[in-house]
Chains A and B, each alone.
Chain A
Amino acid sequence: MLLALLLIPTLGAVAAYFITHHTVRRTLLVATAVAHAATVTATWVAPPAAIWGGWLQLDALGGLFLSITSGLFLAAALYSVGYLGRENSEARRDFEEGLLFANAPEATFTSCLLLFLAAMTLVAVSHRFGLLWVAIEMTTLASAPLIYFHRHHRSLEATWKYLLICSVGIALALLGNFFLAVAASDHGGQPIPLVLSELIGRASELHVAWLKAAFLLLLVGYGTKMGLAPMHTWLPDAHSEAPSVVSALLSGALLNCAFLGILRVQQVCVAAGQGAFGQDLLVGFGLLSMAVAAAFIVGQSDYKRMLAYSSVEHMGLLALGVGLGGVATFGALLHAVNHSLTKAMLFLVAGNILAAYQSKSTADVRGVLRVLPASGVLWVIGFLAITGTPPFGLFVSEFTILRGAFDQGRNAVAVAYLALLAVVFVGMASTVLRMAQGAPGGREQNPLPAREPALAIVSPAILALLVLVLGLYIPPLVRHAILEAARALG
């Protein structure tokens, strides 16, 4: 079953590269996404056996992140059918600077999209640290061409930054893996294999100094990919220049995968009795990320960048939650689910707004509610959800993290957390509500489309519904899965 999870998107990617007929290829994309999601659902019913001597296995934590990824990919695949229909391969004029550019061939795009899914699946099921590293590196390589879909120089610049900064991060993570290997080398005896269960089982034999150094390097390395400040500098560029479907996947799925990399080492640290060391660092990076994001969200003039910074904020929130420990860990994992659903939905809606208004500047977009009624409503709903307003899921998870902070008696952290959330709320509210209301008007009065294509609305609407449901009622199955995953983190 694990092999099937990996093979479905890989084979789909190979096939998509060679199919020349647009309709067939788009059908294949959706079919692959459906097949992947169905297989992931099946793993909930019947947990798959470990293969390759425990290198690949699916535990509660991996299963949670895999489910988020697969679900989001399905939503994104549905959306991208409509998106690719609009984006033909002819040369087009760039709306920001008026230069001519062409999109990358659709076959390459679809193929990379599916490879991206395969790489993220591998991240979720890797229990060997070296393999996990290779998988995370693969996600970078598969997604770089996606960011460079629109071949103009701004997206090129964003891709370059993404490749370079993430590659440096991943290189440091490799050094972290080597440090971990040193920590696991037994005195003269047999070294402990870098498989998660072995490391946890024999955690007391690890060399503490090297383990700490390894954690630090892996945190910085994977934290770069996850978008923790101050290593987040690639993120706003990549998220704002990539096609909206890709931004949704980057924000909702990829950042989580990098977080999983950090959580895996944290698991080892907890088992070795060094959990507090990792937790303190996570709290620090978490608060710093939230603060940096808040500073850039207020007065942000590009709404896709605003969403990107919001991702930096929420990644900080996840790190903070896990760093606080206890009930906050549960809150953080629940928040990962909620954030992914909401942020993906917001990026998809932003794609609709961008398509209609042809501008990413918040100053140019007015009256979304009247011009694009469905997208407008979703845009406002998404804003309310992402800022943690009840009754949406993020309210519950953010509140749980807050409770965790008070439980631990860390009142200063709790106050800082609340203050930053408030700043972000105000910052986003002024931008989003100004865009939604008012008289319609785009730059140079572009002819705005009379109605929105159904395919552009279905995916975000379903995601919005899910976030709402999670706010009102967490199904026992989901609660159990998150509890199991949280238990793995001590």
Chain B
Amino acid sequence: MTGWVDTALVLLTLTSLLLLGSSRLTRCIRIVAFQGVVLGVLTVTARPTELSLRILMLAAAIVGLKGVTFPWLLSRVLRDAAVRREVDPVVGYIGSLLLGTLMLAVSFWLSARLPLPMPAISGLLVPVALFTTLAGLFLIVTRRTALTQVLAYLVLENGIYVFGVGVVQGTPMLVELGVLLDVFVVVFVMGIAIFHINREFDHIDTDQLTALKDWTA
């Protein structure tokens, strides 16, 4: 099963790099959805000996939320919100990709400094988790629209989840569910906020026009 785990981890790294260089929002949403599915695969393959109904349910929940529900919600926002379809980055795509490779190197260096006290399921696990987290952080800082920030937040969460599922044993179900639920609620609330932001800034009435004139005068 280590082959599966390593494949999943490499796929995660590649999708994050792909995201750093993507300009179209629909494409970004699809990439993040794919990451969600990979996380589900990782959940099942991480501990094949301990495979239980609990793990399968968790994996199903991950794929359902991160792979299907969130992307669907976000594409709906994108469709309704008539926002610009392109990402408007602070750092350009080439620059993002170069910095991405740098982050990957830093992740490997950091994980070499912090050796795991127990045997890991894969040597790639910690560096990939750190890289995905860093990439998420970087995207939050450098992408400007609310929608891309939510996507970046999901990538950040994905990285943390990779670490959790691969390294931490014996986390009680309650906490796992709490984590999932929290992510769900956060994205849900953020979705509502995006909806309001859109409504607030896009609709134009006469009041707003006089106010703007007043404001510039």
Residues in chain A within 8 A of chain B (CB atoms): 97-100, 130-131, 134, 137, 141, 144, 148, 151-153, 156, 159-160, 163-164, 167-168, 171, 174-175, 178, 181-182, 185, 187-188, 191, 207, 209-210, 213
Q: How many B residues face the partner with a CB closer than 8 A?
A: 42
Is B207 a contact partner of A167 (Cβ separation < 8 A)? no
Against A, the Cβ 8 Å flags (1 = close, 0 = not) of B176-217 are 001100100110011001001100110000011011001100
The answer to whether B196 and A185 have CB atoms under 8 Å apart is no
Contact across chains for A182 and B168 when beta carbons are under 8 A apart: yes
- Report Cα–Cα, A213/B111, bound state, in Å: 11
| Chain A residue contacts of B172, Cβ below 8 A | 130
**Residues of B with C-beta under 8 A to A168:** 137, 140, 153, 156
For B193, give its contact among A156, A185, A207 (CB under 8 Å): A156
Selected A-B contacts with CB under 8 Å, 7 pairs: A130-B171, A134-B179, A141-B182, A151-B196, A156-B197, A178-B163, A182-B116
The residue of chain A having its C-beta at the shortest distance from the C-beta of B129 within the complex is A175
Contact A210 B156 (CB under 8 A): no
Q: Name which residue of chain B comes closest to A193, CB basis.
A: B170
Q: Does the CB pair B114–A164 fall under 8 Å?
A: no
C-alpha gap A103/B149 in the complex (Å): 27
Q: Is B133's CB under 8 angstroms from A175's CB? A: yes
Q: In the complex the two chains form, what is the Cα distance from A213 to B167 in whole Å?
A: 15
State whether A171 touches B160 (Cβ < 8 A): yes
Secondary structure call for the B interface: helix
Q: Please list the residues of chain B having a beta carbon within 8 angstroms of any beta carbon in chain A.
A: 113-114, 116-118, 133, 137, 140, 146, 149, 153, 156-157, 160, 163-164, 167-172, 174-175, 178-179, 182, 185-186, 189-190, 193, 196-197, 200-201, 207-208, 210-211, 214-215
Within the complex, what minimum Cβ distance (angstroms) separates A244 from chain B?
22
Closest CB-CB distance, A163 to chain B, in whole Å? 6
Q: Closest residue of chain B to A168, judged by CB?
A: B140
Interface of A is mostly: helix
Decide: A163 and B211 in contact? CB cutoff 8 A.
Answer: no
Is there an interface contact between A153 and B201, defined as CB atoms closer than 8 Å?
yes
Rounded to whole angstroms, the CA-CA distance of A134 and B175 in the bound complex is: 8
Q: Identify which of A141, A171, A182 contacts B189 (C-beta below 8 A).
A: A141
Please name 8 further chain A to chain B contacts, defined as beta carbons within 8 Å, in addition to the given A97-B211, A164-B149, sorted by A numbering: A97-B215, A130-B175, A153-B197, A156-B193, A156-B197, A160-B193, A178-B163, A181-B168
Our pick among B118, B133, B197, B214 for the contact of A185 (Cβ within 8 Å) is B118
A179 to B60, CA, bound (A): 25
Assess whether A187 is in contact with B117, with CB atoms less than 8 Å apart: yes
By beta carbon, the residue of chain B nearest A171 is B156
| Minimum distance in angstroms from B167 CB to a CB of chain A | 6
Tell me the number of A-to-B contacts counted with CB atoms below 8 Å: 95
Give, as a whole number of angstroms, the nearest-CB distance from B138 to chain A: 12
Bound form: Cα–Cα A99–B210 in Å: 9
Question: Is A99's CB under 8 angstroms from B211's CB?
Answer: yes
Smallest Cβ distance from B32 to chain A, in angstroms? 15
| Docked complex Cα distance between A111 and B30 (Å) | 37
On whether the beta carbons of A181 and B211 are closer than 8 Å, the reply is: no
Residues of B within 8 A of A175 (CB): 133, 160, 163
Cα separation A148 to B118 with both chains bound (whole Å): 46
* Inter-chain contact A187/B185, CB cutoff 8 Å: no
- Residues of B contacting A171 with CB < 8 Å? 153, 156-157, 160
Contacts of B211 in A (CB 8 A): 97-99
Q: Are A178 and B160 in contact (CB under 8 A)?
A: yes
Q: A185-B169, A209-B114 are in contact. Are A160 and B175 (CB under 8 A)?
A: no
B115 to chain A, nearest CB (A): 8
Contacts of B160 in A (CB 8 A): 171, 174-175, 178
Q: How far is the CA of A181 from the CA of B167 in the complex (A)?
A: 9
Docked-complex contact A191 and B149, CB < 8 angstroms: no
Chain A: minimal CB distance from B29 (Å): 18
Q: What's the nearest-Cβ distance from chain B to residue A112, in Å?
A: 12
Using A163-B186, A178-B168 as known contacts, say yes or no to A153 and B193 having CB atoms under 8 A apart: no
Is A164 a contact of B215 with CB atoms below 8 Å?
Answer: no
Contact A185 B117 (CB under 8 A): yes
Chain B residues lying within 8 Å of A182, measured Cβ to Cβ, are 116-117, 167-168
Residues of A contacting B185 with CB < 8 Å?
141
The answer on a CB contact under 8 Å between B146 and A160 is: yes
Inter-chain contacts of B114 with A (CB < 8 A): 209-210, 213
Say yes or no: A188 contacts B118, CB within 8 Å.
Answer: yes
- With a CB–CB cut-off of 8 A, which chain A residues contact B196? 148, 151, 156
Residue on A nearest B141 in the bound complex, by CB: A168
Complex A-B, nearest 9 residue pairs according to Cβ-Cβ distance, in ascending order:
A130-B175, A134-B178, A181-B168, A98-B211, A153-B200, A175-B160, A97-B211, A137-B182, A207-B117
B158 to chain A, nearest CB (A): 10
Q: How far is the CA of A178 from the CA of B149 in the complex (A)?
A: 24
- On whether the beta carbons of B189 and A144 are closer than 8 Å, the reply is yes
Residues on the A chain within 8 Å of B189, using CB = 141, 144, 163
A181 touches B207 (CB 8 A): no
Q: Does the CB pair A163–B201 fall under 8 Å?
A: no
B-chain residues with CB within 8 Å of residue A213 when the two chains form the complex: 114
Most interface-central of A97, A151, A164, A188 (chain B CB within 10 A): A164
Q: Which chain A residue has the least Cβ–Cβ distance from B130?
A: A175
Taking a contact as CB atoms under 8 Å apart, the answer to whether A191 and B170 are in contact is yes
- CB of B169 within 8 A of CB of A191, answer yes
Q: In the assembled complex, which residues on chain A have CB atoms less than 8 Å from the CB atom of B182?
A: 134, 137, 141
- Give the chain B neighbours of A181 by CB distance below 8 A: 167-168, 171
Report chain B residues within 8 Å CB of A151: 196
Task: Identify which of A130, A167, A187, A188 contacts B186 (C-beta below 8 A).
Answer: A167
Residues of B within 8 A of A174 (CB): 160, 164, 179
Q: In the complex, A191→B118 CA distance in Å? A: 11
Q: Which residue of B lies closest to A188 (CB)?
A: B118
Closest partner residue, chain B, to A212 (CB atom)? B114
Contact between A163 and B190, CB atoms less than 8 A apart: yes
- Closest Cβ–Cβ distance, residue B98 to chain A (whole Å): 23
Bound-complex Cα distance A207 to B137 (A): 27
How far in angstroms is the closest Cβ of chain A from B136? Answer: 8
List chain A residues, Cβ under 8 A from B140: 164, 168
Chain A nearest CB from B22 CB (Å) reads 21
A174 to B164, CA, bound (A): 9
- CB-contact partner of B207 in A100, A134, A137, under 8 A: A100
Partner of A131, one of B118, B168, B175: B175
Minimum CB–CB distance from B23 to chain A (whole Å) comes to 22
